[in-house]
A and B are shown apart, each in its own frame.
Chain A
Amino acid sequence: MTAATARGSRLAAGGRGRSALLTSLLVFPATLWYVALLVAPLAIVVIFSFGTRAKNGGYAPALTLDNYADLLNRPEPFVNSLVMATAGTVGCLLVGLPLAYYLATRAGSRKNVLLLLLVIPFWTSFLIRTYAWLLIFNPDTGIPGIVKLLTGAEFRVRGTPIAVLVGLVYGYLPLMVFPLYVTLERLDRTLLEASKDLGAGRWATFRQITLPIALPGLVTGSILVFIPMMGEYVIPAILGYGQFYMMGNALVSSFLEARNWPAGSARAVGLIAVMLVTVTFYLWFVNRGRRTRETSVL
């Protein structure tokens, strides 16, 4: 190697060293944040889940699987969460897909106003918006009351799974609409013309072209709504009216009411495990056989 090229490669190596240092510096705050506020608490939760309840509540060190065994004996909140999050995701899709499609393709000049309307509720406290639904579901002054006044028919919404479902779909809809909107907006309209030109009708075109191309947005939206719905606490607490429990509520009662931290920790670990399994399975399911440029949907 000549002196010149040796010097050149040394310079290049020096440059690489500096850029590696820069990278570490840039990544350091995020890493610190991540470790201190996510990994460490998670580790504590896992450790607690193998312990026992101290006499006056809290955590006493032990190594037992009792808490996990107990989980299987009371699976109801798990099942409720899984069912409601799934139903809520499907509900968001059913409402969000036509809405996003309309916004992306048909809304024209009204598009920006409509998108703004979709965002505005976010400026109000989630708690207040959920309480608003409680008023709507009020048996005397809400919709059931009006229906009763007009037809005499009596029915109950407050405290039922339906009320919780409506609250979930309402609360998380924008998280579904935005990713869907973005992928549909980017969809090249001449692809739809090409499809029709080749003999596919409206529905066939939607099924074979629009939907597959919008799939990454659909998957992103589904995961964005599914995960927080699984751990949802406020909506079932308010609209469930103390009669419908999901995992979030069960966690609160374990930690704050029963003060059984190990039992609560086991529930939390269980919730994380269920979510990981569900989301992994879902991603595998939608991506099977797909070979696209977008390697990741998130």
Chain B
Amino acid sequence: MAAAVVDESRHVSGRARGGGQIADVRIEGVTKEFGPVTAVDQMTLEIASGEFYSLLGPSGCGKTTTLRMIAGFEQPTAGEIFLAGSPVAGVPPYKRNVNTVFQHYALFPHMDVAQNVGYGLRQRGSPKAEEARRVGEALDLVRLSGYGTRRTWELSGGQQQRVALARALVNHPTVLLLDEPLGALDLKLRKEMQLELKALQREVGITFVYVTHDQEEALTMSDVIVVMNHGRIQQLGGPTELYERPVNLFVSNFIGVSNPMPGRVMEIGPDHSAVVETDRGLRLRGTITDPAVRPGIGTSVTVATRPERLTVLPGEAREPAAPGEVDVPGRIHQGTYLGDQTEYRVTTDLAGELIVRRQNAAGVGTGEGVGPGDPVVVRWHEEANLILVG
């Protein structure tokens, strides 16, 4: 797979380093096997300088193994990893200009905060005065100035997290690797730290490679998300691209929620469009999301729609749909008020159970008039139809 194409708006001026020609990390055909288990399978990936990359996938998808191979804790079974252009096969972790923020922080319990942060500098024999200055700067960066003499176990989870960040960033690594670093924090703190991490990454301009199984976390922070499953890259792209144009069923289900309808291709149209007849007999026109595939007539595909692209209209008989719109009659099975939005589960004959989400804007309220058992029509525009091959 080629390097991620990232649109210019995500670049912040002055962040490009080293001419930006050489990728910070290049993974070429890397496979990692643990006995009979293939954790990473023929992976190829280029990580551009100064970007926030997320490796996203369910547990066991190979994301952490990939991270550990970049760090040097694991060696690839096959393939090659390049850091700043040089192959690093056999180079031990302590000789790689890469630092890791560990899942449970791994702070040294017998050292205070400043000693923890300065550890990397001491290994390189930095003079004491320089160490003190840079440790101070790093603690400022993570908003922990004045905490230098604290013991690490006296700090809260969020503070320990910041110490771990400072300890890694103080060394100015080419790439910072983060292994689900927010997993141990509570939801509110996690949300705050997500924004803070993103801001920090923009500020320091260091390439971040962030491993997570939380799609929301990846969407919030990343410039580029690499979706992995079974050791393979499923899709790579910006958050919008992944959400709006998932290339297969796995990605569409893993990132956000979708309404999958299996079917077969009936016609191929222009601009990568196609007409699909679903197994329940619905004819839908839509876009084939993966530009790399060209399915033939009769190919099994899945049409997926995002819940927020569908609307629920009360009653049975409606005025006929406008051209390009799809109407599916059904009955409300369940309505869940979620605060900012309401989620309906509608049972239909033509499309199975459909999930519909409606924003609770002012005046629209709580979905009065439609409750469980009520007949409704689910309507959406065919632009919302994503045709997923595979």
Contacts and interface: CB of A to CB of B under 8 A. Distances in A.
Are A and B physically bound partners?
yes
Interface of A: 188, 190-191, 193-201, 204, 208-209, 212-213, 290-293
A198 B99 contact: yes
Nearest to A200: B123
8 contacts: A190-B102, A190-B104, A191-B106, A198-B94, A198-B167, A199-B120, A213-B110, A293-B153
Interface in B242-270: none
A23 B72 CA distance: 56
A248 B379 CA distance: 96
Interface of B: 71-73, 92-95, 98-100, 102-104, 106-110, 112, 119-120, 123-124, 151, 153, 167-168, 171
A188 B103 CA distance: 13
Contact of B123 (A190, A199, A213, A291): A199
Given A199-B123, A293-B153, A193 B104 contact: no
A292 B110 contact: yes
Given A190-B104, A195-B119, A198-B99, A293 B93 contact: no
A197 B99 contact: yes
A194 B168 CA distance: 9
Contacts of B94: 196-201
B310 to A, nearest CB: 46
Nearest 10 CB-CB pairs, A to B? Answer: A199-B123, A198-B120, A194-B106, A190-B106, A196-B93, A196-B94, A212-B110, A197-B100, A200-B123, A199-B94
Given A190-B106, A191-B106, A193-B102, A198 B151 contact: no
Contacts of B92: 196, 201
Contacts of B109: 191, 213, 292-293
Interface-central residue, A193, A198, A209, A293, by most chain B CB under 10 Å = A198
Contacts of B72: 196
Given A190-B102, A204-B123, A293-B153, A197 B110 contact: no
A291 to B, nearest CB: 7
B108 A199 contact: no
A234 B124 CA distance: 52
A209 B106 CA distance: 11
A230 to B, nearest CB: 30
A199 B153 contact: no
Contacts of B151: 291, 293
A190 B102 CA distance: 8
Given A198-B119, A292-B110, A193 B93 contact: yes
Nearest to B151: A291
A196 B106 CA distance: 12
B52 to A, nearest CB: 20
Given A194-B102, A197-B100, A200-B123, A209 B108 contact: yes
B156 to A, nearest CB: 17
Contacts of A213: 109-110
A176 B120 CA distance: 33
A196 B99 CA distance: 10
A283 B95 CA distance: 37
Nearest to B93: A196
A236 B98 CA distance: 56
